[in-house]
Amino acid sequence: MDEFQQIMEHIHRGENFLLSGGAGSGKTYSLVQVIKQVIEENPTKKIACMTYTNAAVKEIDERVNHKNLNVTTIHEFLWDVIRRYQKEIVEALVELINDPENTKFKTTETAPITTNFFSDEIEYSYLSTNFSKCRISHDEVLLLSNYLFKKHKKLCDILKDKYKYIFVDEYQDTQEEVIEIFLEHMTQSSKFCIIGFFGDSMQAIYDEGVGDIVKYLENDKVKEVIKRQNRRNPKLIIDLANKLRTDSIEQEPSTDSNAPNMQSGTVKQGTVQFRYSSNKNDLEKLKTELGWDFEYNTVSKKTQAKELNLTHNLIADKAGFRDLMDIYDKDKIIDFKNRIRKYLKENNIQTDFSDKTFGEVIDSLSVGKTDNELKKIKPTPVQQSFISQNQDLFTFAKRLPFSVFIKTYVDKDQLIDDKKQDEDDENKKGSRRDELIKHLHKIQHIIHLYKTGDYNEFLKHTQKRINSISGKRQLKEDIDNLINVGDKTIEEIVQHAHERGICFIGDKLTSFKREMSYVYNRVASVPFLQFQKLYEYLEGRTPFSTQHKTKGTEFDNVLVVLDNGGWKNYNFEALFLNSGRASVLERSQKIFYVCCTRTKENLTVFYHNPSSEVIAQAKSWFGKENVKSIHE
């Protein structure tokens, strides 16, 4: 029996199952195949299919379009199940918040809360959690769902009544709390429901993910089906990937002559290289030597080659959005503000500062303090260094009302979150972009529609009416001014787009400007050209990608840059030497495996300044003849 037949056999026996398959094995194809067969055999039964990103939701939805199939992200699926039970949600939140051992659910209240604390229905929002505003976000939905399913058997009955088949794609990225719901809490109900998982534990590259479900396989709660064939990678990549895997799965080339990695009935060979240098700048020399086309092709809408770096920070300079990245990831004045907030909380200071500025609060707290006590409310050396280099910015922050500035926060996900790929998705739960970044995406998306000649969509997004030739000319001029921005700032472009009716400033952006004026002003002064560069990067139209984002994609030619960028969660030397902290080693192994297996033709790995031990291991993995200095 092939894998599909094995899965259907488990379904017919009423058994939960796991399809495990390495990179390029066609797991999503198998998922779609199973869904179609289940629909054919049970046309009136409802099926739920959950996955990690909205892009994957879209892909599966397009392949199988059926009224009884609900394809969604895990967060949205669980919230849809529990949201109607507001009484139980409120009771659960009160218990979780009042539990001193539970650090995930906390309010600013010092005394235990009651159900009266919540004045309205609880809502799920992409904004940060605010219990006083009856708002929970991404992280709380899963923990709350787990708590409710564990406590209320009726929820398990309701879910099993609604869905007879629940399939989880990329299961390894799913949080442990979700796996517990499906494989432990739902067993409280005796009703029929099959749970099917699809994925690869070797591609578990997100820390919040469960990684594997070995314990459920061992106690026979789930039956495993292994898919060994590889349809994507050439022979040399498959050989390398098998050396990198740390489990028992050993892949083999596809036997399907129509598979992408087959040519004239045999598997492609491909190439693998490990190149190194003591000079980081030699990376550009290597790219020239390779002769690959890294540019985005507007016709095929693909890049033939991709350079994979570990972090967005490593890419920001190359792609041209460094100032924006620094605002969202390296603002030490915000860190200092957080230091003050922590001091107030830890010392239970209840003073009403609502009529004070941030600067006045600092002065007030400093009165009468010396030595160590004063040190606690002063900036750290790193924060002070940033402040010294940004005196005007610090002066502006000190003049802000404390009640406003204390709520200001920045996170790089507000800038570079790319789980939502189009404007319609922006209104769904999960996007962490802030309102200003969303607005800038909207402007640039409108410009993109005009540039690519999609005038119907363009007019729909702008709600602009063109009734004359002169109106068309004026529109072209207005758009040209948004395309060729020169050194105009983001603020200038936002105002121009509003005044010309291209993209109006809405209430949400107005509120953001008022409530997050510190962030707004910083971003507003950055050249709009930097945002255009960021937009192209997030849309996949540059040579660069982070190693995490590339999971699930494939390219003809792949250049992997092994540089941890100061991120201590990864250590590529430890990867080659099989040493160091277990968690760091495991992360490094898995991200490297994911990177190498994106390749359809040729793979090159660049390592800056490797030790002789690293080079020796590279020769073992890549072959002696494929390991060379860039200067050889």
The set of residues, in sequence order, having a beta carbon less than 8 Å from that of 67 and lying 6+ positions away, is none
**83-113 pLDDT, tens per residue?**
999 999 999 999 999 998 888 888 877 788 9
CA distance linking residue 128 with residue 484, whole number of Å: 35
Q: Give how far Cα 257 sits from Cα of 228, 270, 336, 602, Å.
A: 16, 17, 61, 20
3-state secondary structure at position 555: strand
CA distance linking residue 592 with residue 610, whole number of Å: 16
Q: Quick one: which of 420, 440, 435 has its CA closest to 138?
A: 420
**pLDDT score for 544:** 96
Contact criterion met (CB below 8 Å) for 225 and 17? yes
**pLDDT score for 418:** 64
Flag whether pLDDT at 419 surpasses 70. Answer: no
Q: What's the chain's average pLDDT?
A: 93
CA distance linking residue 401 with residue 387, whole number of Å: 19
List of long-range contacts for 182-191, beta carbons under 8 Å, 24+ apart: 183/16, 183/213, 183/216, 183/221, 183/222, 184/150, 185/146, 185/149, 185/150, 185/156, 186/149, 186/156, 186/159, 186/160, 188/153, 188/156, 189/153, 189/156, 189/157, 189/159, 189/160, 191/157, 191/160, 191/161
Instruction: Evaluate the CA torsion angle 591, 592, 595, 600 in order and state its sign.
Output: negative
**pLDDT score for 341:** 92
**307-325 pLDDT, tens per residue?**
999 999 999 999 999 999 9
Contact criterion met (CB below 8 Å) for 324 and 530? yes
Q: Quick one: which of 21, 51, 85, 435 has its CA closest to 241?
A: 21
**204-223 pLDDT, tens per residue?**
999 989 999 999 999 999 99
**484-499 pLDDT, tens per residue?**
899 999 999 999 999 9
CA distance linking residue 256 with residue 243, whole number of Å: 24
**165-184 pLDDT, tens per residue?**
999 999 999 999 999 999 99
Provide the CATH topology of domain 252-314+544-629.
Rossmann fold (3.40.50)
Flag whether pLDDT at 7 surpasses 80. Answer: yes
Give me the half-sphere count of Cα atoms (radius 13 Å) on the Cβ side of residue 387.
17
pLDDT-derived band at 632, boundaries 50, 70, 90: confident
The set of residues, in sequence order, having a beta carbon less than 8 Å from that of 602 and lying 6+ positions away, is 270, 271, 272, 273, 292, 556, 557, 558
The label of the residue with tokens 């995490």 reads 548
CA distance linking residue 509 with residue 523, whole number of Å: 13
The set of residues, in sequence order, having a beta carbon less than 8 Å from that of 490 and lying 6+ positions away, is 440, 523, 524, 525, 526, 527, 528, 531
Over range 290-311, report the average pLDDT.
92
**348-406 pLDDT, tens per residue?**
898 999 999 999 999 999 999 888 999 999 999 999 999 999 999 999 999 999 999 99
Indicate if 252-314+544-629 has the same CATH topology as 3-79+152-227: yes
Flag whether pLDDT at 52 surpasses 90. Answer: no
Domain 3-79+152-227 - what CATH class? Answer: alpha beta
Question: Residue 253: what are its φ and ψ, rounded to 5°?
Answer: -60, 150
Flag whether pLDDT at 464 surpasses 80. Answer: no
3-state secondary structure at position 271: strand
pTM: 0.90
- Stretch (H or E) spanning 252: strand 252-253
Pinpoint the alpha helices (H) of 369-434.
371-375, 381-389, 391-399, 402-405, 412-416, 423-426
The ranges assigned to domains in the chain are 3-79+152-227, 87-141, 252-314+544-629, 332-409, 413-539
Q: Over 402-419, what HEC string results?
A: HHHHCCCCCCHHHHHCCC
